[in-house]
Amino acid sequence: MVDLQEILDAVSEELGGVASGDTVVGSPVKLGAATVYPISIVHLGLGGGGGQGEREASSQDGKGEAGAGNGGVAGFKAKPVAVLVFQEDAVTVLPLPVKAGPLERFLERLPDLIERFKDKGLGKSGAA
């Protein structure tokens, strides 16, 4: 069985090849007299887990098994947020419009929803 630390080391090594400086400030794009650089926010997540233990003998086969388990996971996301425009003697930062996803929209509405529930008396435990 592969050790959990070995799994995490291998995942980190692979992500090191993906997450370079180019993922934050992109490669320049020439547009006529202007040069444009995309700017992105980079998110990286790593996780891992392991297990130990034995399964007791079952009544069907009478055999037990040694237990073990390990796992690792990684996620990477680059989201464009702006462009940097170099044109003649001027530099301009143009932010890209942000579109809220379903989770962001829900979180924005959460305080109002909580207030509605409080106003209606929901969530209160009343003793009779």
Q: What pLDDT, on the 0 to 100 scale, is given for residue 18? A: 56
What pTM was computed for the model? 0.46
Structural domain containing residue 75: 4-97
Q: Does residue 19 surpass a pLDDT of 60? A: no
Examine the pLDDT at 80 and tell me if it is beyond 50: yes
User: Among the residues of 19-128, which ranges form H helices?
Assistant: 102-120
Residue 44 belongs to some domain of the structure: yes
Is residue 67 within 8 A of residue 51, CB to CB? The reply is yes
Confidence of residue 128 (pLDDT cuts 50, 70, 90): very low
Decide if 112 is inside a domain.
Answer: no
Q: Is 1 helix (H, G, I), strand (E, B) or coil?
A: coil
Whether residue 128 is contained in a domain is answered as: no
Q: Is residue 114 part of a domain?
A: no
Strand partners, 77: 43
Residue 101, token pair as written in the block: 């996803």
Q: What is the pLDDT of residue 8?
A: 63
Indicate whether 105 belongs to any domain. Answer: no
Q: Tokens 């979180």: give the residue.
A: 107
**Domain annotation covers residue 28:** yes
In a domain, 111, yes or no: no
Does 21 map to a domain?
yes
How distant is the alpha carbon of residue 10 from its chain centre?
19
Q: How many domains does the chain have?
A: 1
Euclidean distance between CA atoms 69 and 101, whole angstroms = 35
The band of 30, judged by pLDDT with boundaries at 50, 70 and 90, is very high
